[in-house]
Structure 1
Amino acid sequence: MVNLIGKRTLQLLAGGALMLFATVASAQYVWVDANGTKQFSDRPPPPGVPAKNIIKSPTAAAVAPKTDDVQAPASKPMSADDKVPPSLADREAEYRKRAKAKEDEQKKASEEATRKAANKVACESARSYKRTLELGMRVSSTDKNGERSFIDDAQRTSEIARANKAIAEACK
């Protein structure tokens, strides 16, 4: 019984090791050389091999480049035409600027909508008052002492003129 458990554990460990090495084995280059023979290697093909002859190359995640194989790119001096990408602080400042502009635009639109709604109410109120005056209905007013009185024809005419002025301002 103990021997059976030992064999099973050994088999599982061997299988796990094979699976680990399988990822390394998949990091292979395959290319066709000048003689037409397929070449298999864990190193890239020689520089003389055209790109159309390279059949398979590993992904960057599958194999890490060796430090002695990697050459530093030749640096060239920056010209005035080269654009330097903005830093994180610059991008953050631009974002905040756009957000502030959007917020200001929304606030302005909201205030404009409120103003238009108030003008609409004032316009309707002035038109209604003017209709009441023109129909000759009795309109009362209160004086300083709180006494109620009705307007006469002269006051009615001045009130109609005042209503017309209010309509001209509110009903644009």
Structure 2
Amino acid sequence: MIRPAALMLALMLTLPATAQIYSWTDKEGRVHYADLPPPTGEVKVLRGPTRAATAAAEDEASDGEEGQTAVEIVDPQTPFRERRTAEANAAAKATADEAKEIERQRFCTQARSQLVALQSGQRIARMNADGEREFLDDAARSEEIARLEQQIGQNCN
């Protein structure tokens, strides 16, 4: 059994979560903030009800008559969230582009080094499909030089 004091405390903690906060300026130019709007004058709603209260209000509005219109509650942080999402997407794209550029530069450096080694005339060996060492002959060397020059021309300019 829940003690009455604990139950009361739990109920009191939920009340501020559903409250709206209003802002208005009085005749003397002072700005006031309160959970109740003034009887007259222009009022700004600074914080609306939480999502749970909004969902409950929408359910009540949909259960009501067809001719009634529901009040649309706009989250004041929506533009901020959209801007943060756009900034995060731009940062992720910039990071991906930077990583792609680093990988391209690494490939170009490695391809140019291989081309220099092939053009130098030194003996070059590779491992074949059986895992045995195989030296490149002149025809294979010229094919490999042509392939590397083509890749460098396409990717490294």
Q: TM-score scaled by structure 1?
A: 0.49
Q: Is the partner of 2:130 in helix, strand or coil? A: coil
Please tell me the residue identity of whatever aligns with 2:77. Answer: E
Residue 101 in structure 1 maps to residue 86 in structure 2: yes
Task: Provide the secondary structure at the position in 2 that maps to 1:149.
Answer: strand
Pairwise CA RMSD of aligned residues? 2.8
Identity %: 29
Q: Which runs of 4+ in 1 moved over 4 A?
A: 85-88
Which runs of no fewer than 5 residues in structure 1 stay unpaired?
1-57, 61-71, 76-84
Which one of the candidate residues 109, 112, 120 is aligned to 2:97?
A: 112
Counterparts of 1:4-153 in structure 2, within 5 Å, are: 89-153=74-138
How many positions carry a matched residue from both structures?
A: 95
Q: 1:87 to 1:148 in 2, by over 3 A?
A: same
* 1:107 Cα offset (Å): 0.1
Q: What TM-score comes out, normalization by structure 2 length?
A: 0.53
Question: 1:129 & 1:86 partners in 2: Cα distance?
Answer: 68
Q: 1:86 to 1:99 in 2, by over 3 A?
A: farther
Are 1:168 and 2:150 counterparts?
no
- CA distance 1:86–1:106, shift in 2 (3 Å): farther
The whole-number CA distance in structure 2 between the counterparts of 1:162 and 1:146 is 23
